[in-house]
Chain A
Amino acid sequence: MSPYRIATSGARIDRSRPLSFRYNGRSYTGFQGDTLASALLAAGERVLSRSWKYHRPRGIVTSGIEEPSALVQVETGSHLIPNAKMPEVELYEGMHAEGVNPWPNALNRLLSINRNFTPLFPAGFYYKTFMWPAKAWMFYERLIRKAGGLGASPAVEDADRYVHQNVHCDVLIAGGGIAGLAAALAAGRSGARVIISELQGTLGGSAHRLSGQIDGLSASEWVAEAQAALAAMPEVRIIRRGVVFGYHDHNFLTIREALTDHLPLAQRQGFRERLWRVRANQVILATGAHERPLVFGNNDLPGVMLSSAMADYVQLYGVLVAKRIVLLTSNDTAYADALILQRAGAQVTVVDVRADQKIASGYAKTARDAGVEVLRGYVPLQADGSAVVRSITVQQQKGDWASGDKRTLAADAVGMSGGWNPAIHLFSHAGGKARWNDALVCFVRGAPVPNQHSVGACNATLTLAGTLAEASLAGATAATRAGFAASEASYRVVEPDSEAVAAFWIAETGEKVSRRAKAFVDYQNDVGAADIELAIREGFESIEHIKRYTAMGFGTDQGKLGNINGMALAARAMKKPIDQVGTTTFRPNYVPISFGLFAGLERGELFDPVRKTSPHAQHVQAGAPFEDVGQWKRPWYFPRPGEDMHAAVNREVLAVRKGVGIMDASTLGKIDIQGPDAAKLLNWLYTNPWLKLEVGKARYGLMLDENGMVFDDGVTVRLAEQRFLMTTTTGGAARVLGWMERWVQTEWPDMQVYMTTVTDQWSTFAVAGPQSRAVVEKLCKDVDLSAAAFPFMSYREGTVADVKTRIMRISFSGELCFEINVPSNAGAHVWGALMAAGQEFGITPYGTEAMHVLRGEKGYIIVGQDTDGSITPHDLGMGGMVSKTKDFLGRRSLSRSHTAGGNRKQLVGLLTDDPRIVLPEGGQLTALAQIARPSVAAPVPMIGHVTSSYWSPTLNRSIAMAVVRDGQQKMGQKIYAALSDGRHVAATIASAVFYDPQGQHHHD
Chain B
Amino acid sequence: MLLITCPYCGPRAESEFSCGGEAHIARPLDTDALTDAQWGDYLFMRKNPKGVHREQWNHAAGCRRWFNAERHTVSYVFSRFYKAGENPDPANANGALP
Contact = CB atoms under 8 A, between A and B. Distances in A.
Closest 8 CB pairs of A and B: A892-B31, A252-B1, A250-B3, A745-B66, A746-B84, A248-B1, A249-B2, A892-B39
Interface in B1-41: 1-3, 13-14, 20, 26-27, 31-32, 34, 36, 39-40
Contacts of A252: 1, 3, 13
A400 interface: no
A5 interface: no
Nearest to B26: A747
A892 B28 CA distance: 10
Contacts of A449: 75
A742 B58 contact: yes
Contacts, number: 56
Interface string A887-921: 10001110011000000000000000000000000
Nearest to B23: A746
B93 interface: no
Interface residues of B, number: 26
Given A279-B13, A706-B43, A707-B43, A746 B66 contact: yes
Contact of B65 (A250, A279, A745, A897): A745
B34 A892 contact: yes
Contact of A431 (B14, B43, B75, B84): B75
Contacts of B27: 747
A450 B77 CA distance: 9
B87 to A, nearest CB: 13
Contact of A891 (B3, B31, B40, B64): B31
A974 to B, nearest CB: 36
A404 interface: no
Contact of A249 (B1, B60, B65): B1
B51 interface: no
A741 interface: yes
A999 interface: no
A738 interface: yes
A154 interface: no
Contacts of B2: 249-250
A897 B36 contact: yes
A249 B39 contact: no
A965 to B, nearest CB: 22
Interface residues of A, number: 24
A279 B3 contact: yes
A601 to B, nearest CB: 16
A745 B34 contact: no
Interface string A434-452: 0000000000000001100
Contacts of B36: 896-897
A738 B57 CA distance: 12
A264 interface: no
Given A250-B1, A742-B66, A893-B39, A749 B85 contact: yes
Nearest to A741: B64
Contacts of B43: 706-707, 893
7 contacts: A249-B3, A252-B3, A738-B60, A742-B20, A887-B31, A887-B32, A892-B32
A898 to B, nearest CB: 9
Given A741-B66, A749-B84, A897-B36, 18 more contacts: A252-B3, A279-B1, A279-B3, A279-B13, A431-B76, A450-B77, A738-B58, A742-B58, A745-B65, A745-B66, A746-B56, A749-B85, A887-B31, A892-B32, A892-B34, A896-B36, A896-B39, A896-B40
Nearest to B30: A887
B38 to A, nearest CB: 10
Nearest to B44: A707
Contacts of B20: 742, 746
Given A250-B1, A279-B3, A279-B13, A745 B31 contact: no
A707 B1 CA distance: 32
A742 B20 CA distance: 9
A897 B36 CA distance: 8
Contacts of A250: 1-3, 76
Contacts of A749: 84-85
Interface of A: 248-252, 279, 431, 449-450, 706-707, 738, 741-742, 745-747, 749, 887, 891-893, 896-897
Contacts of A279: 1, 3, 13
A179 B93 CA distance: 52
A279 B1 CA distance: 9
A746 B57 CA distance: 11
B10 to A, nearest CB: 12
A741 B20 CA distance: 12
Given A279-B3, A745-B65, A749-B85, A249 B76 contact: yes
A248 B84 CA distance: 28
A706 B65 CA distance: 21
A485 B6 CA distance: 29
Contacts of A248: 1
Contacts of A741: 58, 64, 66
A281 to B, nearest CB: 10
A431 B75 CA distance: 8
A251 to B, nearest CB: 8
A130 to B, nearest CB: 41
Contacts of B32: 887, 892
Contacts of B26: 747
Contacts of A431: 75-76
A892 B65 CA distance: 28
Contacts of A738: 58, 60
Contacts of B14: 249
Contacts of B40: 896
Interface in B32-80: 32, 34, 36, 39-40, 43, 56, 58, 60, 64-66, 75-77
Contacts of B39: 892-893, 896
A693 B94 CA distance: 36
A897 B13 CA distance: 43
B94 to A, nearest CB: 13
Nearest to A889: B27
Most buried by A among B2, B20, B43: B43
Nearest to B32: A892
Nearest to A899: B36
Contacts of B56: 746
Contacts of A450: 77
A530 to B, nearest CB: 40
A892 B37 CA distance: 12
A449 to B, nearest CB: 8
Contacts of A746: 20, 56, 66, 84-85
A745 B57 CA distance: 12
A802 B32 CA distance: 53
A248 B3 CA distance: 11
Contacts of A891: 31
Contacts of B77: 450
Nearest to A246: B1
A279 B34 CA distance: 48
Contacts of A887: 31-32
Most buried by B among A279, A706, A745: A745
A392 B26 CA distance: 75
Nearest to B64: A741
Nearest to B40: A896
A449 B1 CA distance: 15
A608 to B, nearest CB: 15
Contacts of B60: 738
A741 B40 CA distance: 24
A884 B31 CA distance: 13
Nearest to B65: A745
A292 B15 CA distance: 39
Nearest to B85: A749
A896 B35 CA distance: 9
A252 B60 CA distance: 20
A896 B43 CA distance: 12
B88 to A, nearest CB: 15
A22 B32 CA distance: 80
Contacts of B31: 887, 891-892
A431 B74 CA distance: 9
